Amino acid sequence: MNSSTLNSNAEQTIDSEEARDLRNTLLYAGIITIGLSVMILATSPLVISLQIPPMETTLLALCSAIVSVLGIYGLQRGWPIKAISWTSLTAYAIIITMTIHYTGGPLTPMPALYLLVVVAASFLLGRQGATIIAFVSVVSYALMLLLEYLGVIKMVLIWDITFEPQTRGALLIINWLAVAIPTLITSQLAGVLAERLKETNAELIESERMQNSLTHMIIHDLRNPITAVTGSLDLLLMTLGDKMNGDQRNLLKNAQHSGKMLLGLVGELLDINKMEAGKFELHLEPVNICKLVAQNTEAMRAAAELEGQNLEITACSTETVINCDPQLISRVISNLLTNAFKYTPEGGAITSKVEREGEEVVISVIDTGPGIPPKYRDHIFEKFGQVKQDGPRQGTGLGLTLCKMAARAHGGDIWVESEVGKGSTFAFSLPIVGPSDAKVEF
Ligand code: ADP
């Protein structure tokens, strides 16, 4: 038997959320860079007329596109995000310096691109990372100016300006300071901002976690007294029920029914809360899913006959064994069947079905009840989500939430197809192989 805890480590949850955020930011940054590179490529004919070497600028645009594509490929393949961020941002800083050289050097507003790289670095690598990337940028820029000044590399001039060597030197230093100071200041400001955002995020996660554990404690403490009350009522009815008059017995039966409903509600809340907090354990084992559906449906047959409802089981075409938590999946099937009974009027038909579709099985419960209007079809899977109707509420609005979480925890999904006035089909899918520790999440 295999047992896996869902999101058991809170630290891991924060890490994975952070990793997801970083991944998305980097993906967007990468896509934008590709866009910019393509733009530069497309405007090459224009730069030719400005006497900028089109070959070199085109090559640099290609380099930047390759860095982006490699970064995105690495993200998809699960390469370490920090390593991708360091490599691509350092590469971007150097490519920008070379682009500045080939597109007019200090005479253009190109150095402003360093600010973009530094801001991206602060969010992806933190304040320290942003400082290092800012240094890489300004040092490579200084080196470029120096080599141009010494004549080692030829300065590309887009305007016909010539200065005396001394004036040129002074101007280059001023230009370097005008680029270096804002770049370094931006790295610090953006770094502080990124750190604050991270702290706020961590505080929010922590307060949500505390709220969840408090709710869990309250709900857990409610269960014991309610169990005691319903147990005592059961005993009272069993031992003294015969000696009571009809009204007294009805009163006690009502109290017993309400107590059981309350117990069910507390149990569901407790489970949903556990799943949300990542403390719910899946006990996975090979299960004959057709048998499980048939058992649950059979268990409902007596109740169905009492209500005058026709209950059918469409036999499985093949015996399918899947890897799942039989108790949890039993609850899902039973919840869907109970709902079908609850909402289908007398004389209606309810069918349960198991079908194999590729690498998964789909379990459906079909009824001839009132159906669900389109605007409620997503809402009913949310906590306390119910179809608005006249009269007293029939349930808690938690059953389908639990079903959705259970299906998703197994790597499957749940959905409803419905026609108002004709009936509904609630179906959920489960992968045949079942979840692995890594895949389990809500
Ligand atoms: P509960 O039934 O306890 O209210 P659920 O989460 O199981 O909670 O269901 C949410 C809502 O979805 C129900 O209140 C009902 O409005 C609607 N619903 C669920 N199953 C059916 C069904 N088979 N036919 C019609 N409506 C349904």
18-32, 90-104, 278-292: segment of lowest average pLDDT:
18-32
Does residue 338's CB lie within 6 angstroms of at least one atom of ligand 1? no
Q: What whole-number distance in Å separates Cα of residue 418 and Cα of residue 441?
A: 28
Q: Give span(s): CATH 3.30.565.10, the chain.
A: 285-431
Rounded Cα gap, residues 65 and 261, in angstroms = 61
CATH number of 285-431: 3.30.565.10
Give pLDDT, residue 10: 37
411: alpha, beta or left? (left if phi > 0; alpha if psi -120 to 50) = left
Over residues 175-202, the mean pLDDT reads 91
pLDDT, tens digit, for every residue of 291-334?
Answer: 899 888 888 877 777 777 777 666 565 678 899 999 999 999 99
pLDDT grade for 12, boundaries at 50, 70 and 90: very low
The residue whose CA has the least distance to atom 20 of ligand 1 is: 339
Residues 6+ apart with CB under 8 A from 111: 96, 100, 141, 179, 183
Report CA dihedral (333, 339, 344, 348) to the nearest 10 degrees. 10
Among 265, 344, 380, the mutation site with the greatest number of ligand 1 atoms within 8 A of its Cβ is 380
What are 355-403's pLDDT values in tens digits?
988 889 999 999 999 999 999 999 999 988 888 877 666 677 889 999 9
Sorted by sequence, the CB contacts under 8 Å of residue 171 that are 6+ apart come out as 106, 163
Q: What is the percent of the chain where pLDDT is above 90?
A: 30
Cβ–ligand 1 distance for 397 under 6 Å, the answer yes
The tens digit of pLDDT for each residue in 223-242 reads: 888 888 888 988 988 888 78
> CA-to-CA distance for 178 and 180, rounded, in angstroms?
6
- Cβ(113)–Cβ(64) below 8 Å: no
Q: How far is the CA of 391 from the centre of ligand 1 (A)?
A: 15
Residue closest by Cα to atom 2 of ligand 1: 395
Q: What pLDDT was estimated at residue 104?
A: 75
Position 42 confidence tier, pLDDT thresholds 50, 70, 90: low
Ligand 1 binding pocket includes 276 (Cβ within 6 Å): no
Answer yes or no: is the C-beta of 84 below 6 A from any ligand 1 atom: no
Q: Which of 28-37, 98-107, 110-119, 247-256 has the lowest mean pLDDT?
A: 28-37
Q: Mention every residue, 6+ apart, whose C-beta is less than 8 A from residue 436.
A: 4
For the entire predicted model, the pTM comes to: 0.55
